[in-house]
Structure 1
Amino acid sequence: MRTPHDTTARSYSAVIDHVQEVLLYGSADLAYWQHRLAPVGLTPTPHADRALLVLAAPALRWAGIPFRELTLGVFVGEGLTGTSPSGLYLASAYNSSRLLAWLERQFFQTPYTHRSIAVTATNPATITISHDKTLVLCALMRPAAHPLWQRDELWTGSIILPGPGSGWFRARLGGPTTAYRFDPAADTFTLDAGDPLSRLLAESQFTPDEWHLRTDAHHARSRTYRLPVAR
């Protein structure tokens, strides 16, 4: 199955500005994600013999409703240059709003589940996820971390939903970004493996590498399109 290309969906059905978000990039066991994605006909993009993953935690507002998300994406395929990922497999997704999680599942066929989520998109950044008063994921940046770089960053690509033939949508995500190295000696990253998303990270031996912080980001997405079932 081919990853959808940009020519298929040129318009965006939802656009949100002034998003605050934390992106935590990292790597995981390549064989684990090769095995997990094989049934849907996808291949994780190799990155130093590891799979490249991103935890994205935006705080945003839609239709007057403030909410936060936490998604786990696995980069798949290759871009036209043969080096940059062209798609993102949405392995798991949480929303702080029960209503919006339900709307996502019903109208966009996205795998959102309700969780309590806290996000701080300034230095020191934080991401915390809890369920029934149990902390299931905690990522904390050390105070006074020094930036690696600052620039406008933009990602456009296909976000592919779990399950054969389930669907995909086109996304445009970006804004002024400040990057920091994840320091395993000073930063914190803990998981409760009883949680489905945390279990994926633990089983695939996810290792955080880099924080990306945005305080005024832009998100846009198309409607959901159907994918053919892999044969």
Structure 2
Amino acid sequence: ANKDSTGHDNTYYEDKLAMFWNISTKGFETDGCMIACHLDEPGDKSPGRKYTASPEETIDMWHAKYVRTMPMGVFDDQYVDNNKDPKANEGWGRKNDTAPKGFGYKNNETADKKAPAFMNLHADADDQYYVIPSKKVPFVDNFKEGGVVPGIEISPLAGGRADILARNHYENGTWTLEVMRALKTEGENVETQDIQFTDKGKAYPFGISVFDNSQINHLYHDQPLELKFQ
């Protein structure tokens, strides 16, 4: 496997796309993602290190995970706050939007973590890497050499994590991605977790990063882009 200097994979991983939308973070309009993403912490090799400068500052994070969430038709709606303690939250300041537990994705493994728990009945090329609810059956070791055993069990997201609907298509080496979200979200803690597009006369700065089969390494913009309504 082609792992980077922090030990994270750049070969056997899903494609991803992430977007940062500013909610209340000072400096985002000029610095974009760099204001809060992968900040330097000597000796730390975690995929975290995202955090804002103060409790009053948050960023909305839209995270398309092409194996874990996109087959269910959604981005993972997350946000970033000022937490700098990985013991308090493994992802540092990056957290999931408020949502009920028990939904989304998890590792496909037995309780003792010694074997896969499930597989897809009549799996095809599109779902060979993840177990989907409509085909989920107990794992039977009838795989031949070179076969693919799904490493992830996925299901629809719920609550605040499921605000962003999406669909994607891959053809001729290119992803096409369509995204849809309400201009104004409703629910618990949306004022600190979601960008609200309530003023169509203003520009909304955002940052974007693209991951090519990589866990952390990605392409990104140094300066923010802008969304403007017409």
TM-score range, shorter chain: 0.3 to 0.5
Which is helix-richer, 1 or 2? 1
Greater radius of gyration (CA)? 2
**Larger relative strand fraction:** 1
